[in-house]
Each structure stands twice: as structure tokens, then as C-alpha cells.
């Protein structure tokens, strides 16, 4: 502080002769320089932001086990043929039982568990899913209140078995989940029970457990997620009132719900259809709600054991359509050439990767970004993330048909060995996962981009916004001073207030539109999604008209006298977009990144269309055209349609509104912050840009 | 009066300044494992192995301070409950019946460690937990854990720095708590821990130089962890071939470390240590004092006098077994020698006794004796 003062004094002394102007500090000078040349810099920064995003697959690092305690693969597997035959027997029994009986398979599994020496209990739950409540965003997992009018018509029954660690303190546990549809479950699904049954048979007799093992067979009749979420809710928030569900069915679940300490990690195992590759395939799903990821170490352990010990082919989701896209291929080739050139210049520069790798990496990265941005969990593991438990879903696809007995033995052995190794690693943990990354994007099962790297792309994209806002504000003030002979020069610094009013009004409108679906859902009677979307659309547009009518100066069609200067309006819009994007980047980075890719160019390029048409200069016409295109793409419904097409899901043109509604419904049902972002940041900013485009200047 | 006191003080100080020349009378060992957590199993196994070795070589339990920062034997993750192994063959349980751990678990702190060294204990601390060494003591200080540049981590919570150690050693020297001190450290960058030492009589050996890591030797895939560190493993391999009476020199121990096997360079600091390493037997530190005065007793005491005269300064590890055989072959000869080497006075008496036994009729001898004496008396009286 003192030095700062002295510096100032010195500068003042220096400039004392002649003018009274104080030389600004270097940082201020830099700021002034950037603002003065904002058009150039905004283009440079935005281009750099996009380039940084494209370059990310090149910057991906190999994953490594960060936590010393894990020591994956250091212990020899103890699985024996006896365990495998136990597992096979369970699968056979289930098949036979389902052929001959109508009753509940849960009892059979429960019997198997208790024969192994586990504590078994059954849990009944309601299948009704999440419901939208505007106030429940970010409020954590809700305690599903017990409904009084419970019907016995539909309910699910989970089975859970707990193996107590023989010398453990019983304060921690590891959870294994196998979703199984007890009514319609196929042969492949039963294999997951076989693998876990094999493992359970081993774990029941080992001496090295320090954490209890819980095996949850989730009744996936009503989806994978709901039974797991219901079980977790009851595990964490016990209800002391007897549920009416207890009386339903012949299965008595009155016995106590048993618990086993805090969960260190959870693994969800599913066996999917046949693998299209020669090896057995293991797909890892990690994204939980709002782009939250489990600790990278968990993925690393599974990946390490699967690849180096059990010889699975491990993959993570990718956007398949990108693999064949020609423009990405060209970019990949350019990067490869640049990498080779750099390598010839300096052998230490080894950042070039082959085009094929680049394509794979980009496709995986795009999928990773998309899944995180959507904010919807990619499997039942998402339910665990709500309780800060690291969990992943492993989807195994065997290379043999489900009735092949000889292959099945080997498959059970390898699958159970993989799980055993993972559990032994997690069992070695002393604290919950904390050593490795939580914020990362995957470009392959063994490559990741950490938060420090991928933030750069976003930072570069949004960096131009405050610069342009400042420069526009200065321009706008000058223009106002020139055009009006308003004596209110005292209020020079309040010029932005009119524009801010407009921006605020439209954001308020955005908030109301965001909350509208809640009320539309309350409308009595059954409505199809298309009807609801029409209801929503009409109410929103009428609301918009009301807003324009009641608040003077808001509308692009209002008279010139009330209208604010478009430059100031754009400046405030850009500031609002900047704040919105920055806030969103904290909540869900991937959403903010994709949002910035759309919103930043739109906000930067948009200009009133009338002067451009009047001037008839190619440059301004081109600008107007670009802003028109960007604004068209930027409309949320349009965006949804485009993303559908991009992900190869096909467009159903007629029911677009209905699909959009269903999509949004799923967003809010999963409490995705992306929904809030679309309603409260994207939509208002898009409307404001529209106002600027049609500004009567 | 004042003069007298002055003289007395002078004498006193003189007497104490001659402390350096006191003879080696006893041996102590302080064995410290500083790290917690299951994945540091090997550090506890290191320490327990060395504990077993020094006990085998003759340091009694009451003179060993064993500090173990965690209890691997009873860890729930241990597949062999209440057992600790330092080899995957599981032949030797290091955590048998007679292991006395003096400081365990969270008691192993830098503070307690320094208290043990300097002897500044609270009154309530029992004698068994104190290092009651004196100016004739040889102390072995063995430490293992995770270290770095001039520090050694304790319990993953605090650290012992090289100047802390040097300060403690200096205090020990001032308080005459040792004659010679050998510090053996098995951590990463162990050599840096000795940088600040400056007290005479200190010999230091570390597993690795600055910038080097100390690696584990092998993994036990049943237990699922590494069970021993390389430096300690090869130290133990050296000592396994020795018994109490062997005379391998410190030099041969230090030369047995092969950087290729260790994957680090063992470093030893000798500038504070006067004696020539080739002349100091390892049992000076790793064993107990066996200097005894022979008397003729019913017990056939083993004499090591002859072999003690020469110290094998050059004893590479691979020749050890040969040497052992030689030693054993020598044993019968040694016993023969001891028969002849008895004190002269007893020897004379024994000879006389034997000769006396040879006489058959004692009465005639006595009578003849009396006759001779009478004859002598008569001659002598006639002469007078």
C-alpha cells in the first residue's frame, strides 16, 4: 500500500512540469489499450477460444493412479472355481425359477446371499419418479415424502445383502449394484448377477476386508435409476413411520433395513448385449447430475485392472457421427502436420498425434462435454453422486451368446476378478477418494484433460466480452452526448440505466418462462407433450408482448424517442451474458462452455439490421446476415433440433415441440442446471440480441 | 578452603574430560518406523526385521527402544491376522510372541523421538521406555519411513528435520549418553538427513543420496503390499549370515551394498567417526558387548579370544558362507587350545596333585620321611 502511494507521488512529480495529467499505471494502460482496439482483440480472443477447444485432444494427459493407498493389481486374485460355480448355479437357479414359478425371484437371490453368510433384507419402493419443483434445484437429494394414498398396484422390491468385514470397524462400506428386472430380465442381465454372485461367494470368506460389502440387486422394472435412488434415500434418511407398502404383496419386508457405514465407492454392474468386437467390451459411464464426475482415480483403477489384468476392451461413450466428419478430419490432419513440423524443429516437442487418434479423442471429448452439459446422469451411479459417493457404471458386453456354458465360466471369472481387484483397491483406501481430479473431461478411458487446461478455452472465449462491453459503452456515451442536447450532463454515468431496465425486464421474463412449466403441469387433465409445449409457447409469447407493451423502451418496435442507444444496450447485454456465463461455469462448466460457444459470437456480432440494409455495403450486409444466422441457430428449440441431428437421433419434424417439451421435462426432472441456464441466461440474452438486431436506430 | 575446592573442581573436570577414553560397556538400539497407513506395511516390516536381527545378535529387549507408528499386524486389511512378514515366502513371522513395542501408534511423534534420544522424559515415563545409555554405550539408531531433502516424515503429520536430529545428537554427546552412535536411515534422500551432524563419534549410513529414491524390494501378492525395502533387505541379507561371534567389519557391511541391486546409492558418513571402519566389527553396534573375564567354571564358555584378535575387514557377502565353514572347522581346535591355556598357579597345583596320586603306599613314604627327618636333625645338632 505504501509503495503504491509512493509510486503515485513519483509519477505525479514526474509529470508536474506542464500538464496535471497523472500517468496511469501499466495495468490500466493495458486495459485502455485493449478496450481501444476491442474489435481486433475480440476476434482474436474468440478465435483463440475456439482453437483452444479444438486443440484439447492434443493436450490430453495419460491418466495415472494418484492415490498411493489404492495399489491396484498388487494383490493376487483369490477367486476359485468353486466361487464361479456358485455364481453359475445362481444364474441357472434364477432361470429355472422363472420358468416354473410366477413368484418373486428376489427371495431366491436373498436365499443365495444368506447362504453365503450375508445379512439380507428386502426393500419396497415406489416407482414414481422425480417431479419438477422449482424450489428444489440444488437442494440436494429430496427426501421422498411418503404418500398416504399408496396403491399396491405398482411397487418394486430391492434385495440387499451385507457382508460384514471380519475385522473391520463397520464404519465404511463398498456398494455393488446389479440392476435386474425380475419380470422381464433377459439372459444377459442375469449374467451380471452371476458375476456378482461369484464375487460375493469369494468376499464372504476372505479375511482382508476392512469395509463392509453391500450387494444391492435393484429392481429395474421401473428404470435403473429409481430403485437405486430409493434405496439410497432410505439408507441415508431413515423413516420412522411404517410405510403402507409393507403390507403389499406376499413378501414380508418388515424386517429392519440394515446399514453399513458410509460408502467409500459404488460400482454398478450391467451386462449388455453381445459385444461387436472380438474381445469382451467394458464401457465406463461416469457422468452424474449437473456434470459432476466421480474421482478420476476410480476410473483409473477400473481401467487399469480391466486393460492390464483382465484383457477387456475398455471404452467410454463417443459421438459416433463425429468420427466420419470430414472437417474434423482436416483439422486433425493439420494438427498432425504441425506436430510433425514442430518435432523436426525441436525433437522435444512431441505434441502431434495421429489424425485417427485426434478424431477418436474429439469424438469422446464431445460426448464427455455433451453428457456433462446435459446434466443428466448416464446411469444409476448418478444417484450416488447426490450423496457425495464416487460411483461408476460398468457395462460389460460379452463376446459370446448368453447360453454358451463354457465361455460363461471364463466370463464370470474375469468379470469377478476385475470387481475383486477394484474392491481390494478401494478396500485399501484410508480416506474417501480425494487425491485425483474431480473436474476433468475424458478423451479416452486412459486420457483426460484437467480443469486447468480446459478452462483456458472458456476463459479466452469470454475474455472478449468485458472488453467489447466497455468499448461499446464509451461509444454509446459519445453518441448520446452528440445526438441529444439534453442538459442532464450530470447524470452522465447513469446512461446505462435505461438499457439496464430493459435487460432486467427481459431477464425477469426469462425467469417467469422458466417457472411456467411448473404451472402448466398443474393444469388438470391429461395433455400430450405437444399440447403442453403449445400452451407454454403461447403463454410465453403473450407474456413477452405484455412486457414490451408495459415497459416503454423495451420493445424493438417502440418509437425512437423512448428507445435507448443500441450501443449502450448491447454493452449491458454483453455484461449480463458475461455474468451469466461466468456463474454457470462455476455450476456446470460444460454447459457454460457450450453456451459460450453459441452466445459469445452472437453477442459480439449482432448489430441493428436497418442501417446495414440502408448502407448496402457488403461488409455490413455480411455482418447482418451472420447475425441473422447465429440468432436463428441460437433459438433454444432450433438448437435442440440441430443437436438431435448432430447426435444422429433423427428429426421428427412434426412433433418437434413435443420432443422439446419432453427433453426439457427430463432436464428439470433431473434437476439439471442447464435448464435454468437456458431459461435465465440464454433466452433473455437471445431476446436482447433480437432487440438489438431490430433496433430502430 | 577456596583453593581446595578449586583443585577438586579441576580434578573433577579432568576426570570427566577423559570420558572419551571410557571403554565400550553396553549396547543400545533405537528402532523407529515413522509411517502410518496400510500401504506403508514395508516400513514396519523393515523395523521389525532389524529388531529381530539385533536381538538375535545379542542386544536384549530391555536395551531396545522399538517405535512403530502403526499396527499392521492387526490391520483389518491384513490377510494374516496378527502376523507381519518381510518376505513373500511367509516363513518368518516377525510379529511373534516376544516383540516388545515401546512406542506405538500415535505415540511415535517427533517430540517423543527427541525425548528418547535426549533423555528428557516426564517423570511418569517408565524406565522401559527410556534410553538409559551411558558414556560407554554404543547406540544403533535405525529409522525408516518417507523422507525428503533433509527431513523425515513422522505419521504423515509432522517431520523431523536434519538439524533437529543433529541437535539431539549433540545434546546426547554433551550429556554423555553414548560413546559411539550409528545412525542408519532407510528413506528417500536419506543422505541429506546427516548434513547437519557435527558431534564426534557418530557414524551415519543412509540408503540413498540426495535426489534418489529408496525403493521397495518386492511385493507380496497375498498380502497385496510391498513387504520390505531394498536397503533393509540387503542389510538383513548380510546379517542373516552372521552370528554373535562373527567378526565381519563395518567396512564389509558397507561394501555389501550394490547400487544396482539397491537402485540407489548407499551413502555413509565417516568423518565424525575416529576408528578405522575395517577394524570395527559390526557387532559393535548390531550386537551386544561380549567382553568377559574368564574363570574356570563348570560352564564351558566359548572362547572367542583367538578370533577376536583379527577382524575380517574384507569380507564380501559372497564369501561369507565359505568363511562360516572355516569358522566351524576351527571350533574343535579352539576347545583343545583352551585346555592348555590355564593360569600358571592352578596348573602347578594340578600337576602336584596328579603326582601325589601316583604314589601307592602312603604309610611307607611317611615313615621314611620321619626317619629322614630324624637323621637330618641328628646331623645338624652334631654339627652345632
pLDDT for residue B344: 62
Q: Is the pLDDT of residue B20 over 60?
A: no
Listed range (A30-39, A643-652, B35-44) with the worst mean pLDDT: A643-652
Most confident of the following: A7-21, A334-348, B172-186: B172-186
Residue B333 distance to chain A (closest CA, Å): 52
% chain B with pLDDT above 90:
37
Q: Is the pLDDT of residue A317 over 70?
A: yes
| Residue A68 to residue B39, Cβ atoms within 8 A | yes
Closest chain B residue to A421 measured between Cα atoms?
A: B224
Q: How confident is the model at residue B58 (pLDDT cuts 50, 70, 90)?
A: confident
Residue B190 distance to chain A (closest CA, Å): 21
Q: How confident is the model at residue B135 (pLDDT cuts 50, 70, 90)?
A: confident
Taking phi over 0 as left and psi of -120 to 50 as alpha, with beta for the rest, B176 belongs to: left
B interface test, pick of A208, A305, A425 with most B CB neighbours within 10 Å: A208
Q: How confident is the model at residue A129 (pLDDT cuts 50, 70, 90)?
A: low
Nearest Cβ partner for B77 among A68, A76, A210? A210
Closest chain A residue to B220 measured between Cα atoms?
A: A75
pLDDT per position as a tens digit, A165-206: 988 888 999 999 999 988 877 788 888 999 999 999 999 989
Per DSSP bridges, beta strands A447-450 and A156-163 are: unpaired
Q: Is the pLDDT of residue A360 over 70?
A: yes
Residue in this structure with the C-alpha cell 436506430, named with its chain if needed: A697
| Residue A69 to residue B38, Cβ atoms within 8 A | yes
pLDDT for residue B327: 41
Q: Which value does ipTM take for this structure?
A: 0.79
Closest chain B residue to A205 measured between Cα atoms?
A: B79
Q: How confident is the model at residue B156 (pLDDT cuts 50, 70, 90)?
A: confident
3-state SS string for A102-140: CCCHHHHHHHHHHHHCCEEEEEEECCCCCCCCHHHCCCC
The H-assigned helical ranges of B303-361 are: 305-308, 320-340, 344-358
pLDDT for residue A482: 65
Query: Rounded to whole angstroms, how far apart are CA atoms A87 and A269?
Result: 15
Listed range (A458-467, A635-644, B87-96) with the worst mean pLDDT: A635-644
Query: Rounded to whole angstroms, how far apart are CA atoms A233 and A126?
Result: 12
What residues 61-120 of chain B have any CB closer than 8 A to a CB of chain A?
A: 74-81
Q: A688 near A509, Cβ under 8 Å?
A: no
- Nearest Cα to Cα of residue A446 among A310, A268, A267, A299: A299
DSSP labels, A25-54 = PHHHHHHHHHHHTHHHHHHHHHHHHHHHHH
Listed range (A563-577, B58-72, B301-315) with the worst mean pLDDT: B301-315
Q: A172 near A210, Cβ under 8 Å?
A: yes
Nearest Cβ partner for A209 among B39, B76, B223? B76
Q: How confident is the model at residue A303 (pLDDT cuts 50, 70, 90)?
A: very high
Give contacts of A167 with chain B, Cβ < 8 Å.
74, 76, 81
- Nearest Cα to Cα of residue A378 among A677, A65, A666, A62: A666
Backbone angles phi, psi at A377, to 5 degrees: -60, 145
Backbone angles phi, psi at A564, to 5 degrees: -85, 165
Identified catalytic residue from B121, B146, B163, B218: B146
Residue A423 distance to chain B (closest CA, Å): 12
Closest chain A residue to B78 measured between Cα atoms?
A: A208
Chain A within 8 Å of B157 (Cβ-Cβ)?
A: no
pLDDT per position as a tens digit, A385-423: 889 899 999 999 888 776 777 888 888 999 999 999 999
pLDDT for residue A249: 65
Residue A209 distance to chain B (closest CA, Å): 6
pLDDT for residue B323: 42
| Residue A208 to residue B38, Cβ atoms within 8 A | no
Backbone angles phi, psi at B160, to 5 degrees: -100, 125
| Residue A71 to residue B74, Cβ atoms within 8 A | no
- Nearest Cα to Cα of residue A386 among A492, A259, A233, A533: A233
Identified catalytic residue from B33, B43, B138, B188: B188
Listed range (A569-573, A612-616, A653-657, B191-195) with the worst mean pLDDT: A653-657
pLDDT for residue A639: 81
Q: Is the pLDDT of residue B50 over 90?
A: yes
Q: Is the pLDDT of residue B207 over 60?
A: yes
Q: What angle do CA B308, B312, B316 make, to 5 degrees?
A: 150
Q: How far is CA A97 from CA A191, A217, B85, in A?
A: 15, 17, 48
Give contacts of A168 with chain B, Cβ < 8 Å.
76
Chain B within 8 Å of A206 (Cβ-Cβ)?
A: yes
A interface test, pick of B75, B76, B145 with most A CB neighbours within 10 Å: B76
Chain B within 8 Å of A171 (Cβ-Cβ)?
A: no
DSSP state at residue A171: S
Q: How many CB atoms lie within 10 A of CB A643?
A: 15
B interface test, pick of A67, A75, A168, A428 with most B CB neighbours within 10 Å: A75
Give contacts of B75 with chain A, Cβ < 8 Å.
210
| Residue B76 to residue A210, Cβ atoms within 8 A | yes
Give contacts of B83 with chain A, Cβ < 8 Å.
none
Q: Which residue has the higher pLDDT, B306 or A332?
A: A332
Give contacts of B224 with chain A, Cβ < 8 Å.
71, 74-76, 208, 424, 428
| Residue B221 to residue A207, Cβ atoms within 8 A | no
Q: Is B11 a catalytic residue?
A: no
Give contacts of B39 with chain A, Cβ < 8 Å.
68-69, 71, 428
pLDDT for residue B329: 38
| Residue B224 to residue A430, Cβ atoms within 8 A | no
- Entry pTM: 0.81
| Residue B77 to residue A427, Cβ atoms within 8 A | yes
| Residue A428 to residue B224, Cβ atoms within 8 A | yes
Q: How confident is the model at residue A221 (pLDDT cuts 50, 70, 90)?
A: confident
pLDDT for residue A212: 93
pLDDT per position as a tens digit, A464-494: 899 899 888 888 777 766 655 454 444 556 6
Amino acid at each position: 500500500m505504501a509503495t503504491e502511494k509512493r509510486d503515485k507521488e513519483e509519477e505525479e512529480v514526474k509529470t508536474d512540469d506542464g500538464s496535471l495529467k497523472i500517468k496511469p499505471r501499466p495495468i490500466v494502460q493495458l486495459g485502455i489499450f485493449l478496450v481501444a482496439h476491442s474489435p481486433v482483440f475480440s476476434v482474436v480472443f474468440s478465435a483463440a477460444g475456439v482453437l483452444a477447444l479444438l486443440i484439447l485432444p492434443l493436450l490430453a494427459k495419460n491418466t495415472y493412479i494418484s492415490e498411493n493407498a489404492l495399489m491396484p493389481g498388487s494383490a493376487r486374485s483369490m477367486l476359485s472355481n468353486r466361487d464361479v460355480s456358485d455364481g453359475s448355479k445362481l444364474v441357472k437357479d434364477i432361470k429355472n425359477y422363472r420358468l416354473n414359478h410366477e413368484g418373486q425371484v428376489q427371495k431366491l437371490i436373498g436365499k443365495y446371499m444368506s447362504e453365503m453368510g450375508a445379512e439380507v433384507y428386502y426393500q419396497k419402493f415406489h416407482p414414481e419418479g422425480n417431479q419438477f419443483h422449482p424450489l428444489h434445484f440444488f437442494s440436494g437429494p429430496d427426501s421422498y415424502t411418503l404418500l398416504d394414498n399408496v396403491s399396491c398396484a405398482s411397487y418394486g422390491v430391492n434385495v440387499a445383502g451385507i457382508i460384514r468385514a471380519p475385522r473391520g470397524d463397520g464404519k465404511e462400506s463398498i456398494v455393488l449394484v446389479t440392476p435386474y428386472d425380475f419380470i422381464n430380465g433377459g439372459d444377459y442381465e442375469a449374467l451380471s448377477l452371476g458375476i456378482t454372485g461369484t464375487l460375493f461367494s469369494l468376499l464372504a470368506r476372505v479375511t482382508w476386508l476392512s469395509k463392509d460389502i453391500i450387494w444391492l440387486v435393484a429392481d429395474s422394472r421401473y428404470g435403473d435409476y429409481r430403485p437405486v435412488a430409493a434405496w439410497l434415500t432410505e439408507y441415508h434418511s431413515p423413516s420412522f413411520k411404517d410405510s403402507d407398502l409393507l403390507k403389499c404383496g406376499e413378501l414380508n419386508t418388515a424386517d429392519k433395513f440394515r446399514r453399513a457405514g458410509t460408502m467409500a465407492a459404488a460400482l454398478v454392474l450391467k451386462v449388455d448385449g453381445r459385444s461387436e468386437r472380438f474381445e469382451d467390451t467394458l464401457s465406463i459411464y461416469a457422468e452424474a447430475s449437473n456434470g459432476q464426475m466421480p474421482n478420476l482415480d476410480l476410473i483409473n483403477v477400473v481401467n487399469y485392472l480391466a486393460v492390464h489384468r483382465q484383457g477387456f476392451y475398455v471404452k467410454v461413450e463417443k459421438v459416433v457421427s463425429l468420427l466420419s466428419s470430414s472437417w474434423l478430419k482436416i483439422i486433425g490432419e493439420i494438427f498432425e502436420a504441425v506436430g510433425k513440423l514442430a518435432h523436426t524443429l525441436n525433437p522435444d516437442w512431441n505434441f502431434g498425434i495421429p489424425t485417427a487418434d485426434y478424431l477418436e479423442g474429439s469424438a469422446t471429448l464431445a460426448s464427455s462435454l455433451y453428457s456433462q452439459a446435459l446434466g443428466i446422469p448416464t446411469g444409476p451411479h448418478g444417484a450416488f453422486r447426490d450423496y457425495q459417493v464416487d460411483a461408476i457404471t460398468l457395462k460389460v458386453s460379452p463376446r459370446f451368446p448368453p447360453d454358451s456354458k463354457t465361455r460363461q465360466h471364463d466370463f464370470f471369472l474375469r468379470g469377478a476378478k476385475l470387481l475383486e481387484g477394484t474392491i481390494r483397491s478401494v478396500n485399501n483406501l484410508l480416506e474417501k477418494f480425494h487425491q485425483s481430479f474431480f473436474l476433468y473431461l475424458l478423451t479416452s478411458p486412459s486420457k483426460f484433460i484437467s480443469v486447468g487446461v480446459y478452462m483456458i478455452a472458456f476463459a479466452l472465449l469470454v475474455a472478449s466480452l468485458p472488453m467489447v462491453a466497455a468499448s461499446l459503452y464509451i461509444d454509446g456515451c459519445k453518441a448520446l452526448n452528440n445526438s441529444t442536447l439534453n442538459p442532464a450532463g450530470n447524470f452522465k454515468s447513469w446512461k446505462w440505466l435505461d438499457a439496464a431496465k430493459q435487460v432486467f425486464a427481459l431477464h425477469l421474463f426469462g425467469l417467469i418462462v422458466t417457472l411456467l412449466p411448473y404451472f402448466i403441469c398443474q393444469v388438470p387433465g391429461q395433455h400430450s407433450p405437444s399440447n403442453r409445449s403449445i400452451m407454454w409457447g403461447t403463454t410465453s409469447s403473450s407474456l413477452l408482448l405484455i412486457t414490451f407493451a408495459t415497459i416503454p423502451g423495451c420493445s424493438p418496435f417502440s418509437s425512437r424517442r423512448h428507445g435507448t442507444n443500441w450501443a449502450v444496450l448491447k454493452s449491458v447485454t454483453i455484461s449480463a451474458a458475461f455474468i451469466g456465463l461466468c456463474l454457470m461455469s462455476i455450476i456446470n462448466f460444460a454447459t457454460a462452455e457450450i453456451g459460450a460457444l453459441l452466445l459469445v459470437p452472437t453477442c459480439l456480432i449482432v448489430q441493428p439490421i436497418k442501417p446495414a440494409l440502408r448502407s448496402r455495403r457488403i461488409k455490413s450486409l455480411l455482418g447482418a446476415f451472420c447475425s441473422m444466422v447465429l440468432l436463428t441457430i441460437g433459438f433454444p428449440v432450433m438448437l435442440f433440433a440441430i443437436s438431435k441431428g448432430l447426435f444422429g437421433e433423427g428429426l421428427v419434424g412434426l412433433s418437434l415441440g413435443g420432443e422439446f417439451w419432453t427433453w426439457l421435462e427430463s432436464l428439470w426432472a433431473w434437476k439439471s442446471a442447464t435448464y435454468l441456464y437456458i431459461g435465465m441466461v440464454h433466452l433473455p440474452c437471445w431476446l436482447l440480441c433480437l432487440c438489438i438486431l431490430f433496433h430502430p436506430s | 578452603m577456596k583453593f581446595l575446592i578449586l583443585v577438586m573442581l579441576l580434578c573433577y573436570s579432568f576426570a570427566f574430560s577423559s570420558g572419551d577414553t571410557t571403554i565400550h560397556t553396553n549396547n543400545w538400539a533405537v528402532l523407529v518406523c515413522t509411517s502410518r497407513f496400510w500401504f506403508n506395511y514395508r516400513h514396519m516390516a523393515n523395523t521389525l526385521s532389524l529388531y529381530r536381527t539385533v536381538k538375535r545378535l545379542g542386544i536384549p529387549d530391555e536395551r531396545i527402544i522399538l517405535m512403530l507408528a502403526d499396527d499392521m499386524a492387526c490391520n483389518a486389511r491384513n490377510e494374516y491376522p496378527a502376523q507381519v512378514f518381510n518376505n513373500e515366502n511367509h516363513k518368518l513371522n516377525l510379529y511373534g510372541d516376544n516383540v516388545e513395542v515401546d512406542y506405538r501408534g500415535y505415540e511415535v511423534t517427533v517430540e517423543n523421538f527427541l525425548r528418547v534420544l535426549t533423555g528428557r522424559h516426564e517423570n511418569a515415563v517408565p524406565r522401559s521406555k527410556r534410553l538409559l545409555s551411558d558414556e560407554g554405550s554404543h547406540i544403533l539408531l535405525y529409522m525408516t519411513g518417507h523422507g525428503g531433502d533433509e527431513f523425515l516424515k513422522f505419521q504423515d503429520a509432522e517431520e523431523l528435520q536434519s538439524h533437529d536430529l543433529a541437535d539431539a545428537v549433540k545434546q546426547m554427546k554433551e550429556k554423555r549418553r553414548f560413546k559411539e552412535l550409528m545412525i542408519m536411515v532407510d528413506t528417500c534422500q536419506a543422505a541429506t538427513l546427516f548434513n547437519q551432524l557435527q558431534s564426534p563419534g557418530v557414524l551415519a549410513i543412509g540408503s540413498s543420496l540426495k535426489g534418489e529414491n529408496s525403493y521397495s524390494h518386492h511385493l507380496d501378492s497375498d498380502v497385496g503390499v510391498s513387504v520390505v525395502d531394498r536397503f533393509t533387505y540387503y542389510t538383513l541379507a548380510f546379517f542373516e549370515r552372521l552370528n554373535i561371534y562373527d567378526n565381519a567389519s563395518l567396512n564389509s557391511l558397507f561394501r555389501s551394498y550394490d547400487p544396482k541391486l539397491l537402485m540407489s546409492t548407499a551413502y555413509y558418513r565417516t568423518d565424525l567417526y575416529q576408528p578405522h571402519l575395517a577394524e570395527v566389527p559390526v557387532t559393535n553396534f548390531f550386537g551386544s558387548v561380549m567382553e568377559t573375564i574368564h574363570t574356570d567354571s563348570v560352564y564351558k564358555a566359548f572362547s572367542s579370544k583367538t578370533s577376536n584378535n583379527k577382524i575380517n575387514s574384507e569380507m564380501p557377502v559372497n564369501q561369507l558362507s565359505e568363511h562360516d565353514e572355516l569358522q566351524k572347522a576351527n571350533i574343535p581346535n579352539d576347545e583343545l587350545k583352551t585346555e592348555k591355556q590355564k593360569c600358571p598357579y592352578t596348573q602347578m597345583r594340578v600337576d602336584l596333585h596328579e603326582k601325589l596320586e601316583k604314589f601307592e603306599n602312603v604309610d611307607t613314604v611317611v615313615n621314611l620321611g620321619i626317619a629322614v627327618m630324624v637323621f637330618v636333625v641328628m646331623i645338624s645338632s652334631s654339627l652345632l
